[in-house]
Amino acid sequence: MFDLRTLDDIGQLAETDELECKLAHGQDGKGEVPKDFWPTYSAMANAHGGVVLLGVREKSGRFSIAGLENPTKVRGDLFNTLNNKAKVSANLLSDADVEEVRLDGKSILVVRIPPATRKQRPVFLNGQPFGNTYRRLHEGDRHCDEETVKRLLAEQVEDSRDTRILKGFGLPDLDRESLHAYRQAFAVQRPDHPWVAESDEAFLRLIGGWRQSREAGEQSEAGLTLAGLLMFGKWPSIAEAAPLYFLDYQELPADTSQTRWLDRVVPDGSWSGNLYDFYRRVIRKLTADLKVPFVLKGDTRIDDTPLHQALREALVNTLIHADYSDRASVLVVKQPAGFVFRNPGLMRVPAQTALHGGASDCRNRTLHQMFLLINLGERAGSGVPKIRAGWEASGHVLRLSDAYEPFDQTRLEMLWGPTSGSAPGETPGETPGETPGETPGETLKMPERILAALRASPQATLPELAAALGKSESAIERAVRKLREQGHLQRIGPNKGGYWEVKE
């Protein structure tokens, strides 16, 4: 994570969202854990982790070794407070996470703070989560508002967020056409399954869309679950139960100076607005331009490719992992540079863990099972690796990340690879009208390609842009500088942790 070896390394430091330096000398100058260490500890634990250096002086943006007179005492005080539940809700550190380093004859402490797990968050101070929970944004420790703390607490205690019984909601709140379309898909996939012959209400019970609580007494709750309503409900009923729920599909043109989008799907009253119908409408649009090679299995043509499979899995993955109580919308973007899938809510497992597979913590497990029953989606821990394998095997670029601004969100970016030299689904060098080795969309002007890429991925760095567009970093840097001078592009926040805003 962080390696400090020489005084030259200190000179290169800059405080970021994952690094903080504190003098830690105390009132007597002999060293103590500073009071402002603890908001930083909470903030980093509730974000992506980080490193705090104790015994390092900062002046006018430059850092130097001040040292700690008694690092053993500071270390002891640190662990004493960490293990005091009245002061800190969770101790995430082991002995190996606090290292004494000597530079120029002086000792400092390097404190490595890991990110808290879902079951440990929120990490808060003074025995009270409200008003004492922090999150690291850019290089600052920011108070979490009450809504964010409540969401963290809900994530901690609710393994699945979609099993809740909705009081006052029933079968009239469902779109019967959506439910029957799903049942038909189920019957096609499992024609001999005993559930095929069940009534709608019984079928809903069996797949988790209707539930009765097992609490003792005659007044135990029974009714639609949140999963049942989200999957098959009518838009007004969904909006009543989940006021922040919103689905958005956008197909963007190469040049948005005249048209903001070529196609858009949102809940507008003309269709049900539920997840199943959104999936059915959007998957056709996502895969419409993919070429299908002529491949036979027996006497049947196989109209499917790893790219089709990756896009299907990405769309299902977005819908089943979304936090429908959060403020961001589900957003699916198709544009010349590729595809972006965004869902509200942070990742429950680290991005690198999700990319390699084997660990799963699905936010909406009933929705996941509903898609699995019609052979959509993958079993626990294998979804993202399958997306990655299918996409990268074709020479394309995939990135997975989460962020806290402007709202908690997870982004999966699937961009056409700069070295593939092919249009979607085609063999390199065989694209009509293109020369071999030319990046898809090369006929677009570079400024337009940059703006399209940054609309889809506002947090992209210049090296990442260069890689995605198949250009040198210096060429991208010149083009971005010109776009900024012309007022088409603005940088919000610092180089690390900030994002790009495209001006229409």
Q: How far apart are CA 366 and CA 226, in angstroms?
A: 9
pLDDT for residue 247? 97
Q: How far apart are CA 178 and CA 332, in angstroms?
A: 21
Indicate the residue type of 419: T
- For residue 101, list its beta bridge partners: 108
pLDDT for residue 9? 62
Residues of the chain with CATH 1.10.10.10: 444-504
Q: Which residues contact 37 (CB under 8 A, 6 or more apart)?
A: 22, 24, 52, 54, 78
Report yes or no: 260 and 200 within 8 Å, Cβ to Cβ.
no
Q: What value, to the nearest 5°, has the Cα angle with vertex 179 and ends 176 and 180? A: 85
Q: How far apart are CA 406 and CA 410, in angstroms?
A: 12
Q: Which residues contact 418 (CB under 8 A, 6 or more apart)?
A: 397, 439, 467, 468, 469, 470
Q: Which two tokens stand for residue 197?
A: 């012959």
Backbone angles phi, psi at 215, to 5 degrees: -70, 145
Domain 7-157, CATH number (from 1.10.8.50, 3.30.70.560, 3.30.950.30, 3.40.50.261): 3.30.950.30
Omega cis (within 30) before 122: yes
pLDDT for residue 441? 35
Q: Which two tokens stand for residue 203?
A: 């079928």
pLDDT for residue 315? 97
Residues of the chain with CATH 3.30.950.30: 7-157
Backbone angles phi, psi at 316, to 5 degrees: -60, -45
CATH topology of domain 444-504: Arc Repressor Mutant, subunit A (1.10.10)
pLDDT for residue 472? 77
pLDDT for residue 22? 92
- Map residue 486 onto helix, strand or coil: coil
Per-run averaged pLDDT (10 residues), the chain, 504 residues: 57 73 88 95 95 88 87 96 97 96 90 96 97 90 95 95 94 97 96 96 97 69 94 97 96 79 94 98 94 64 80 96 94 95 94 84 96 89 86 89 90 80 39 31 63 76 73 82 87 76 77
Backbone angles phi, psi at 487, to 5 degrees: 85, 10
